[in-house]
Chains A and B, each alone.
Chain A
């Protein structure tokens, strides 16, 4: 059990990051990728014990990242206003739009999905920690 989860975790995490980064090219995106990434952290905490999970990412770091993810999202939207578009505008605000089908092809969407991914992953972890600690 422990060996399997130790073996599998890095692959899950890489896959989670892949899903986040390719959100605008294939089905998936910030939420699904973040959920996969968060699940891998929970897997560690479940198969070893809570301390091992906390060593990976502590409760405090997770909640800081949680706020940070949302703030990043909001600020990306604000950048658009500074460059003269509407809130959360993409092309109109001058984010570089590449060729369709490439990795860097959707301007602000990539940045936003990354922030959403961070937010979702850390939220799932904090939720898990909260429920676990509530039982003590």
Chain B
């Protein structure tokens, strides 16, 4: 076996290694600590890209931990769809990390920065593991690592709002994992397997023998991932948590963490549950309605907010609705749309939170009404905000349009034009709360009232990278769409 065969495991291991090595480095050789984590993330990125190229040539790669085959050992699976998500997770987190290294100096105490790197690398590592693992119990462990490190990068700010938000998040997500574990126990009772592929074969049979177990498991999974991914009625923890955290953590949590849970639910629906289950129980229908309500209510709540970061957090609830809609339609074009939206929204929302971070750093303003006239003081930052909001609304030329376009196509394909209206209406609502900020920032007559510090160059560079990416994703979407179409049609 060559070295390259171990990449599925090594991606996760490199990140965990970085996580536990960086506090030691921070103690003894402080200035190498951040470059070390960056290097680890970059190494993981290189490995992911190599793996993606290899998987496209030779097909799905399976990796057995410790050489034990599935019923006993943990299996990692690398198929194009998972690697696509992995690529998003690692590249976006590398991008956020570059921003975070500079920004954290202003937001956190110096002693805890080393631990922040640890938590950050753990978070990325656990998300990478969640995207790759093919074993339900391993998924549970990684989910808990992800939940704890996500809570910890909120509470590391040592601010009482952060503690409360993080406690709320921890309790609700512990409930989510409790439900998930009970669901796993139900499936294990019915089949005796924990491996996705084995379960799918075995569950088709078990469905006739123990239907109640499997229905209960399906319900528990929807609740568990609904809480974790902030599906509409279960979103209560999200606004506090995302708004009070340091900006780089908010970018990470809003951009990636909720998406990975949506993706895991997708995997469980399409790679664990047999197709017959979705025909017997209208799971898709439930998710579809919750997602549509989410897109509307998330936007309506966002309009009522006065705090910029809270508004962005509520907008995330609306946007995660689009991603769940794809699962709800249960149709390949819509799923292409929602997968494209995972990428677009990860970049856009991360960038918008960075903009919020830059504004807070430079002027200390958090209230939306105080932003009037800021466009003349911080032109590049507000340009980034404009492009980000354009993508959120779905204006042509940005990535947001492509994903909504495919979702709408999917809705028409299965003959439900009503949901096209839902998508249009929620886009309109997005426009109602994003556009006034942009207009106020640039067109306002009076000058900006607050003093503005000059913005460091690295912050602007990361914003510019985001802007370029959003525009590119809106114009040259063909290669990604082809990849997604090819790998999603296999599932049907």
Contacts and interface: CB of A to CB of B under 8 A. Distances in A.
- The answer to whether A and B belong to the same complex is yes
Interface of A: 60, 63-64, 67-68, 70-71, 74, 77-78, 80-81, 84-90, 92
B20 A71 contact: yes
B20 A67 contact: yes
Given A85-B67, A86-B66, A89-B67, A71 B13 contact: no
Contacts of B21: 67, 71
Given A85-B67, A87-B9, A70 B16 contact: yes
B64 A86 contact: yes
Interface residues of B, number: 18
Given A84-B1, A86-B9, A87-B6, A71 B66 contact: no
Interface of B: 1, 3, 6, 9-10, 13, 16-17, 20-21, 23-24, 27, 63-67
Contacts of A84: 1
B289 to A, nearest CB: 43
Contacts of A71: 17, 20-21
Contacts, number: 49
17 contacts: A63-B23, A64-B24, A67-B23, A70-B16, A71-B21, A74-B20, A85-B66, A85-B67, A86-B1, A86-B66, A87-B9, A87-B10, A87-B13, A87-B65, A88-B66, A89-B66, A92-B67
Contacts of B16: 70, 74
Determine which residue in A64, A68, A87 has the highest number of CB atoms from chain B within 10 A of its CB, and name it. A87
B63 A86 contact: yes
A86 B66 CA distance: 5
A14 to B, nearest CB: 28
Shortest Cβ-Cβ A-B pairs, 7 listed: A88-B66, A87-B9, A86-B67, A89-B67, A70-B20, A67-B20, A92-B67
Nearest to A70: B20
Contacts of B67: 85-86, 89-90, 92
Nearest to A84: B1
A90 B1 CA distance: 16
A60 B24 CA distance: 10
Contacts of B24: 64, 67-68
Contacts of A85: 66-67
Determine which residue in B24, B27, B67 has the highest number of CB atoms from chain A within 10 A of its CB, and name it. B67
A77 B13 contact: yes
Contacts of A87: 6, 9-10, 13, 63, 65-66
Contacts of A63: 23
A109 to B, nearest CB: 10
Contacts of B27: 60, 64
Contacts of A80: 66
Contacts of B20: 67, 70-71, 74
